[in-house]
Amino acid sequence: MESVIFILFYLITVIIIIVDQISKYWIRATLKVRGKKVIWPGVLKLNHYQNSGAAFGIFKGYGRLFVPLAILILFVCIYILETGEVSGRLIEIGMGLFVGGAIGNAIDRTLFNQVTDFIQFHFIKGIFNIADYAIIFGMLLILLDSIIIGF
């Protein structure tokens, strides 16, 4: 069973990277930078933004500094899963989302020295991408798993 779950980690990681990169390619090919397209009025729009920093534009111009961090996250998660320090579907799914998102954004930072953001919900401050949401949901699952294990 352990190997099946470990395969789930890799599968989720690869799917997130692929979906993230395809979506960013599509946005770059179809919408000019700062271009907007309403998908669901009052709820969701696509807003093409190039972020050369981290979340919310902090560390502008220093995006490539986060690439080694993404690689470190990948190796730490693989090590933790390989050693069996943590186990269970919830943590492996969370780690797969987290690592997939980190690597997805690292690819952008390596190739373009910036990250393509485009998902803007009217009720959430900021513009994000698939990788960003994978990181957020991955962290939430990891936290949820930690809370459940703690009881």
DSSP, collapsed to helix, strand or coil, labels residue 49 as strand
Identity of the residue numbered 141: L
Helix (H) or strand (E) holding 116: strand 115-121
Closest CA to 103 of 137, 62, 72: 72
12 close to 93: Cβ distance less than 8 angstroms: yes
Q: How far apart are CA 48 and CA 115, in angstroms?
A: 10
Angle at the Cα of 9 from the Cα atoms of 65 and 111, rounded to 5 degrees: 30
User: Would you please indicate which residues are annotated as catalytic (active-site) residues?
Assistant: 117, 132
